[in-house]
A = this chain, B = another copy of it.
Amino acid sequence: MTVGVLGAGQLGRMLALAGYPLGLDFVFLDPARDAAAGRIAPQIAGAFDDPDCLRELARRAEVVTYEFENVPARAVQLLAGLVPVRPPSEALAFSQDRLAEKRLFRELGIPTVEFAEVNDLPGLRSAIARLGLPAILKARREGYDGKGQVLLEREEEVEAAWSRAGGRPLLLESAAPFAREVSLLGVRSTRGETSFYPLVENHHADGILRWSLAPAPGGDTDLAAQASEAGERLMARLGYAGVLAVEFFEVEGRLIANEMAPRVHNSGHWTIEGAETSQFENHLRAILGLPLGSTALRGRCAMVNLVGDIPPLEALMTVPGARVHLYGKQVRPGRKVGHVTVVASDEPTLRSRLGRVFDLVPGARAAR
């Protein structure tokens, strides 16, 4: 059985590492030379919308999945006529359009921030009049890790923001006064079986995830129920198969959905060591119709991204309970080149070990 994957970055690489023990083979499509997954599996080097490449991918794979959500719609259309594509294309369509995504959340009764469609400067002004400031002006499409977003705090900034961001479909969102960001990792198989990992608490710097805690402190009761209820509704509505990540803001004990990613997710990397079954293996089980594996924890977990730099490996390797994951990527500023998982049997031990990792990973500790 061969799984085709659109995108050959680290997520695809970790999918392959999880799938090989299940006897699966992989083939990736990605234009990048020296792609992370291309170092460990066959790669078709070509554009995501190249019909010949897509046909070759479909020919070589029994099922196709993707590791990023900005897959061109026509690529999915072409593929879907040739081979099962999972998660379903509808999930991809919603996650590619922040406005449609927010409307889906609302349709399903999942709390969101206030938001408004913005197509021109007068529309932006009237949206601000309705939502108030501060607010965030976002491109409806593209943009990740905080790119393509402008925080508006005062009326005087409106024209400058418009000149930076305008000219494409936008939406304005109220800036939620959130205490923290948490994420839900859910999984649903083609058989309709669902399971959820414990909530994860995420810490960002410059719009990039820097570290996560699992389970999220204080997230094991009502918060987790709110999150998994939202996840259940989304996955059922979309006829979903695979791992679905949903990011939430916590505002006064209430979860507000921010966005979703129809794929394995950076905030779930800790599951490789920290859960009975990793998000990568469960994604594969889900899209192949196999029974899902347990999402139970094996301890208290943290994950620290290695961004733009690889710290001294030997020092990291001597931190008890720490596991290093490198992606085989060239180091560049702002680029995720690896991560470290830390597992411990109790919270104080985890914090102590995490502190040692922070000492070795510049910039991580300060991330909010």
Complex CA distance for A338 and B22, rounded to whole angstroms: 9
Task: Give 17 pairs: A residue, B residue, CB < 8 Å, sorted on A.
Answer: A13-B20, A16-B40, A20-B40, A21-B323, A21-B324, A21-B326, A22-B313, A23-B310, A23-B327, A25-B328, A40-B41, A285-B317, A290-B314, A290-B317, A291-B318, A293-B317, A298-B298
Complex CA distance for A163 and B331, rounded to whole angstroms: 64
Question: Which chain B residue shows the least CB distance to A316?
Answer: B291
Judge whether A17 is part of the interface by a CB distance below 8 angstroms. Answer: yes
Cβ B276 vs Cβ A321 within 8 A: yes
- Closest chain-B Cβ to A61's Cβ sits at a distance in Å of 15
Judge whether A219 is part of the interface by a CB distance below 8 angstroms. Answer: no
Complex CA distance for A117 and B35, rounded to whole angstroms: 56
List residues of A (91-140) whose CB comes within 8 Å of B's CBs: none
Judge whether A356 is part of the interface by a CB distance below 8 angstroms. Answer: no
Cβ B291 vs Cβ A22 within 8 A: no
Complex CA distance for A291 and B317, rounded to whole angstroms: 7
Judge whether A77 is part of the interface by a CB distance below 8 angstroms. Answer: no
Cβ A23 vs Cβ B328 within 8 A: yes
Judge whether A325 is part of the interface by a CB distance below 8 angstroms. Answer: yes
Please give the residue numbers on chain A whose beta carbons come within 8 Å of chain B beta carbons, in ascending order. 13, 16-17, 20-23, 25, 39-41, 276, 285, 290-291, 293-294, 298, 310, 313-314, 317-318, 320-321, 323-328, 338
- Closest chain-B Cβ to A312's Cβ sits at a distance in Å of 11
Measured between beta carbons, the chain B residues less than 8 angstroms from A294 are 320
Measured between beta carbons, the chain B residues less than 8 angstroms from A338 are 23
Measured between beta carbons, the chain B residues less than 8 angstroms from A326 are 21-23
Complex CA distance for A41 and B139, rounded to whole angstroms: 41
Asked, given contacts A17-B17, A338-B23, whether A314 binds B291 with beta carbons under 8 Å apart, the answer is yes
Cβ B25 vs Cβ A39 within 8 A: yes
Complex CA distance for A261 and B13, rounded to whole angstroms: 32
Cβ A325 vs Cβ B21 within 8 A: yes
Complex CA distance for A318 and B276, rounded to whole angstroms: 12
Question: Which chain B residue shows the least CB distance to A16?
Answer: B40
Cβ A328 vs Cβ B291 within 8 A: no
Measured between beta carbons, the chain B residues less than 8 angstroms from A298 are 298
Complex CA distance for A66 and B320, rounded to whole angstroms: 29
- Closest chain-B Cβ to A194's Cβ sits at a distance in Å of 16
Measured between beta carbons, the chain B residues less than 8 angstroms from A323 are 21
Measured between beta carbons, the chain B residues less than 8 angstroms from A324 are 21-22
Question: Which chain B residue shows the least CB distance to A39?
Answer: B25
Asked, given contacts A22-B326, A25-B328, whether A290 binds B276 with beta carbons under 8 Å apart, the answer is no
Question: Which chain B residue shows the least CB distance to A315?
Answer: B291
Partner of A328, one of B20, B290, B314, B321: B20
Top 4 nearest A-B pairs (CB, nearest first) are A23-B326, A21-B325, A291-B317, A291-B318
Measured between beta carbons, the chain B residues less than 8 angstroms from A291 are 314, 317-318
Question: Which chain B residue shows the least CB distance to A296?
Answer: B320
- Closest chain-B Cβ to A191's Cβ sits at a distance in Å of 10
Partner of A40, one of B40, B276, B327: B40
Measured between beta carbons, the chain B residues less than 8 angstroms from A290 are 313-314, 317
